[in-house]
Amino acid sequence: MAPVQAQVLPISPESGIVAEKVRDGIDLQVNGERFRHIGDPQMPLLWYLRDVLQLTGTKYGGEHGGNGADLVLLDGKAVSAITVPIAKLAGKAVTTVEGLAANDGSLHPLQQAFIDEDAIGCGYCTPGWLIAGVDLLLHKPHPNDGDIDQLPNLCRCGCQARVRRAIKRAAAGKAGRP
């Protein structure tokens, strides 16, 4: 008996079928864990974090970012996660707010300082402030009010003054102390 021929569908504009190349994976690290993304390489990092990895601490801050809600650390530098496609993350290390605490669960000193200074209102902006603050403290260990006011973050609950105090408390090594 003659072998059965596999049916080959015609690929033409009329068919509505689009040929797509097999995608290579994009390897990246998030909060110390390694992941391989094999979906759309143009997917913004923010949606990868929130929808794929279920890391919902990083918030949407508009389609161009800019208000600090969607900040993450990329190789130690704060960047807006909505503006970075996964395609640019091969071999890079991302840290989100979920990755700031130590493995034993103890808070990052800046997280503790936010609690100490009651610098959290509704909390929407808080993850972004924490990421921006960690970046600031890494590059300027003793920032002044002007340095803090230059961060891109906004708080609609009016917590800026307490955020300033929290960042300066962490800088002074007083997190968790009276």
Q: Does residue 121 interact with ligand FES by CB under 6 A?
A: yes
Closest listed residue to residue 113, CA positions, set 56, 57, 164:
164
User: Cα(56)–Cα(59) distance, rounded to whole angstroms?
Assistant: 7
Q: Does residue 55 interact with ligand FES by CB under 6 A?
A: no
Nearest residue (CB) to ligand FES, 16 versus 158 = 158
For 123-140, give the secondary structure using H, E and C. CCCHHHHHHHHHHHHHHC
The nearest distance, CB 112 to ligand FES, in angstroms, is 17
The nearest distance, CB 34 to ligand FES, in angstroms, is 32
- Select the residue whose beta carbon is closest to ligand FES and give its number: 121
Answer for the pair 103, 134: CB distance below 8 angstroms, yes or no: no
Q: Does residue 123 interact with ligand FES by CB under 6 A?
A: yes
User: Cα(144)–Cα(80) distance, rounded to whole angstroms?
Assistant: 23
Identify which range of 16-24, 32-40, 54-62, 155-163 contacts ligand FES by CB under 6 A.
Answer: 155-163
The nearest distance, CB 160 to ligand FES, in angstroms, is 9
Residue 77 vs residues 12, 55, 170: alpha-carbon distances, Å: 46, 19, 18
List residues binding ligand FES (CB under 6 A): 120-126, 155-157, 159
